[in-house]
Amino acid sequence: MDPTPLAYALIATDLDGTLLRGDDTVSDRSLAALARVARAGARHLVVTGRPAPRVRSLLADLGCTGLAVCGQGAQVYDAGADRLLWSVRLDRELAETALGKIEAEVGQVYAAVDQDGVDGLTLIEPGYRMPHPTLPAVRVGRRDDLWCEPISKVLLRHATLSDDELAAVARSVVGSLATVTMSGPGTVELQPSGVTKATGLALAAEWLGIDAGRALAFGDMPNDIPMFDWAGHGVAMADAHPELKAVADEVTLSNEDDGVAVVLERLFPTGLPARR
């Protein structure tokens, strides 16, 4: 007789503020919980705003050799083959136009870009400060240098506006030029129009043959809202943004308190039989 189907066959986790602790590491408890998931036959997918080149080492630490959704859904990355199976670029002329519209409303903003491709760089213009100082970036001399190669997204900061304020203004003026997201402290982004974490996750899940209703998603910021809308069950971290908590099916502990592991240990108990 076939074993009872798993309630959730796909576990989708954001990284920053969710699976990762503040020092960019994954706790032993979380690693053990993800190992339970694998033994039970479910798939774990990282779904992150970070571009593919910035997650290689993390995926290796997690033992991920399959798919990962990167760049806010603009990239589906095959970690085992170190190649992009799918990627969407942000038109650089549209990005410049969108920046101009935002600056017409709020004054100077500081910008950075993630270049497309598995070896793409993160370029930052003068005045831009990286929200994650551990992530590598190349400082350029002027804004025009940001557009030297194809890009997947633009990252924005403002000297005085909060992330919520900057994101609200950007959404009000950018229109269909780009999708505006907020993915963490100091991280307001422009990505290709219509692209979200949900679009990349849905494509990866289709390749894996897993329906949305059997997906469990974890996140902490507004950029995770489309993923929660798509997945069968969305779990927000304890210190998640209020907008995400408002649409979550469940709230767990913080990333520092192993909130992801707490839920996975409940849903994938040690006595669950291994899947063939």
Nearest to 225 by CA among 14, 1, 4, 5: 14
Q: Could you give the count of Cα atoms lying within 13 Å of 191 in the half-sphere of its Cβ? A: 28
Confidence of residue 110 (pLDDT cuts 50, 70, 90): very high
Of the two residues 136 and 101, the one the predictor is more confident about is: 101
pLDDT tens per residue, range 166-200 = 999 999 999 999 999 998 888 899 999 999 999 99
Does residue 237 contact residue 218 with C-beta atoms inside 8 Å? yes
Q: Is the pLDDT of residue 89 over 80?
A: yes
**pLDDT for the residue 7:** 85
Confidence of residue 256 (pLDDT cuts 50, 70, 90): very high
pLDDT tens per residue, range 132-160 = 777 889 999 999 999 999 999 999 999 99
Q: Is the pLDDT of residue 239 over 70?
A: yes
Share of the chain above pLDDT 70, in %: 96
Q: What mean pLDDT, rounded, does the chain reach?
A: 93
pLDDT tens per residue, range 127-139 = 999 887 778 899 9
**pLDDT for the residue 61:** 87
Sequence-distant (6+) residues with CB within 8 A of 49 are 14, 16, 70, 71, 72, 181, 183, 184, 187, 189, 197, 223
